[in-house]
Structure 1
Amino acid sequence: MIQYFTTNWEKIQNFQARPDDILIATYPKAGEGVGPFYFPLSRNEYERVPFLEIAFPSMDSGVDLAEMITTSPRLIKTHLPVQFVPKSFWEQNCKIIYVARNAKDNMVSYFHFDRMTLTQPDPGDWSSYFKRFLEGKSIFHTWFCCLILFGSWYDHVNSWWKKKQTHDKIHYMFYDDMIEDTGEEIEKLCCFFGLSPSVEEKKQIKGGVQFDNMKKNSMVNYSTFQVMDFNVSHFMRKGKVGDWKNHFTVAQNEEFDEDYRQKMKNSTLQFRWEV
């Protein structure tokens, strides 16, 4: 964790969820663009779907923003591992969407995000970042700290998957499926929420959540967010499945595949590296 989360930790853990709250949980840069499903893109993403654990100076914290929302349902997003989700979400039996992305593309996207965000230590070069991502931990030296914020991708996706097996209010989605067939994933969400939007409404939703449309929309792309340097990279960069091929060397891919086989051998989760 970084100080912007830890200094607000008690407030996060004591957050009071409402029964009709919807929590959107992901590992960082795994894709959580389901806000337009409920709300038109007419308000800034940061205010419309508060990021629960964030607490930057001179800005309202995610908890404060969530508490300011008087309409229902509230959409709240988090990158917290399942064991750190405030207990009120479980007590209120809230519906939760978890979005998982294949680890190779997730790693690449997270690397570029760490390059452009001003709140975390510089990620360093790609080769060292690749190693740290596989290890899923931070490396501390006397003169610098290299974070993998929110820890291991493997722990994150597997712990949420395990929770889903005993909690029927969790809808586990895959980013790669959303890219391949957005319409089908919208249908699954409608079923999960018990909604029956019209054909026209579904068409509008599908258009709203298309990556290229969201990337151009200042209400969603975080271009007004002061803690990101868009001269380095965009918050919404490519949104492709398979972009890892432009970053992984042959040796890195072989190392990754062997590491993946070992760490996922007891998991029933299935990911795709391309669509």
Structure 2
Amino acid sequence: MSRLDVTECYQGISFCGHLHTQESLQYATNFQFQDTDTLIVTYPKSGTTWMQQIVSLVSSHGDATRVQTEPNWSRAPWLEQYYFCDLLKVQQGPRLITTHLPYHLLASALQGSKAKVIYVARNPKDVAVSYYHFHKMANFLPDPGTFEEFLNAFLDGTVHFGSWFSHVKGWTNNANNVKNFLYITYEEMWQDLRGSVEKVSRFLRIPLQDQELAAAEKHCCFSSMQGNSMVNYTLIPQEIMDHSKGKFMRKGKIGDWKNMFSEEQSRLFDAVLRTQLSESSLTFVWECAEESTILHDSKNTEAPARRVA
């Protein structure tokens, strides 16, 4: 399947036609989850690959064989992509599934299910920057234009996969409607990787011995993933993902937005964030700890943040 220039529109949200069809999107919204399933949910560029790696390593008790021999899109296939059904047929053991879909498209499918849902969020300024760079190398996504043009589309929610604000609000506001739900942030994984692996381990009810935890941590650190072809998407052909224009796993840092945003763009973004998340208690880390960490909440960018457990 190519369709690199095709955009599928499904219930008002744009999806890249290279990976999605009307049929695959319809199938996803009507998917029959099993109670043993684990579903990783993210908005694009929010730590998806990282969580796929963590869950894979926790499930294998730190054994890296599978994460070094099987691509992540095969061991944690995307629910809404056209090849999902074929990959699901050959999966063995409890199923690990990934999605970028918003809550309202999966609410009906998850109703009554005991499937475990892990939602990973990232501060939206870093999401916007990472997503912009990804557009520049992914030939199945539209030309992002200038960063200012892309940022305006991001704030308007007209980029592929829709609004970040709607996505994060939809899933977190409905967390109580999901039987088994874990919220974790990209920044939490960056600042305390071992603690994050332990958190996932407890949620999945897969206890790890100290040596298993150490092995899992080793193989899901950013530098390890960056050099692993099963994770870094270098297996994808150049005509689909142009690696000469950038790396899929580019920097992975907290606060890279400061290298892209102008002061005016940052103020505009903060204003939209306060409006969009005015009734939310979510908080985000905007700078790396060693660079004098600043924590913002959605209502007051000067207020101290509260961690969401």
Q: TM-score, normalised by structure 2?
A: 0.80
- In structure 2, what is the Cα distance between the partners aligned to 1:116 and 1:127? 18
- In structure 1, what is the Cα distance between the partners aligned to 2:139 and 2:112? 36
SS of the equivalent of 2:128 reads helix
Q: Which amino acid aligns with 2:230?
A: M
**What's the C-alpha RMSD, in Å, of the aligned pairs?**
1.5
Which of 109, 127, 130 is the matching residue for 2:130? Answer: 109
* Count of residue pairs the alignment pairs up: 259
- In structure 1, what is the Cα distance between the partners aligned to 2:208 and 2:37? 20
Q: CA deviation at 1:264?
A: 1.3
Q: Deviations over 1:62-88 (max 9, x none)?
A: 23212321x221111000001112744
- In structure 2, what is the Cα distance between the partners aligned to 1:90 and 1:207? 36
Matches within 5 A, 1:96-245: 96-137=117-158, 148-226=159-237, 227-245=240-258
Q: Would the aligned equivalents of 1:15 and 1:86 in 2 still touch at CA under 8 Å?
A: no
Q: Which amino acid aligns with 1:255?
A: L
Q: CA deviation at 1:17?
A: 2.2
Q: CA deviation at 1:219?
A: 0.7
Q: Which amino acid aligns with 1:62?
A: F
Q: TM-score, normalised by structure 1?
A: 0.89
Which of 50, 54, 72 is the matching residue for 2:93? Answer: 72
Q: Which amino acid aligns with 1:135?
A: D
Q: Would the aligned equivalents of 1:158 and 1:269 in 2 still touch at CA under 8 Å?
A: no
Q: Deviations over 1:83-111 (max 9, x none)?
A: 11274443432001000000000000111
Q: CA deviation at 1:168?
A: 4.0
Aligned to 1:84: 105
Extract unaligned runs of 5+ from structure 2.
1-13, 289-309
Q: Would the aligned equivalents of 1:14 and 1:86 in 2 still touch at CA under 8 Å?
A: no
Q: Deviations over 1:236-272 (max 9, x none)?
A: 1110000001000111111111121111111111111
Q: Would the aligned equivalents of 2:110 and 2:178 in 1 still touch at CA under 8 Å?
A: no
1:95 equivalent in alignment to 2:110:
no
1:34 equivalent in alignment to 2:56:
no
Extract unaligned runs of 5+ from structure 1.
56-60, 138-147
- In structure 1, what is the Cα distance between the partners aligned to 2:115 and 2:176? 16
Q: CA deviation at 1:120?
A: 1.6
Superposition misfits of 4+ residues, deviation over 3 angstroms: 86-91
Worse-matched range after superposition: 79-88 or 94-103: 79-88
- In structure 1, what is the Cα distance between the partners aligned to 2:51 and 2:124? 20
Q: Deviations over 1:157-180 (max 9, x none)?
A: 111101113334010110011000
Aligned to 2:264: 251
- In structure 2, what is the Cα distance between the partners aligned to 1:89 and 1:204? 33
Q: CA deviation at 1:6?
A: 3.5
> In the superposition, relative to structure 1, how do residues 45 and 108 fare at CA in structure 2: closer, same or farther (>3 Å)?
same
SS of the equivalent of 1:165 reads helix
1:53 equivalent in alignment to 2:68:
no
Q: Deviations over 1:20-41 (max 9, x none)?
A: 1100000001002223332531
Aligned to 1:260: 273
Q: Would the aligned equivalents of 1:12 and 1:63 in 2 still touch at CA under 8 Å?
A: no
Q: Deviations over 1:179-237 (max 9, x none)?
A: 00011111211221222110010001111111111010001111112321111111111
Aligned to 2:291: none
Among all aligned residue pairs of Structure 1 and Structure 2, give the percentage whose two residues are the same amino acid: 36
Q: Would the aligned equivalents of 2:234 and 2:243 in 1 still touch at CA under 8 Å?
A: yes
- In structure 2, what is the Cα distance between the partners aligned to 1:64 and 1:19? 20
Aligned to 2:35: 19
Worse-matched range after superposition: 167-176 or 239-248: 167-176
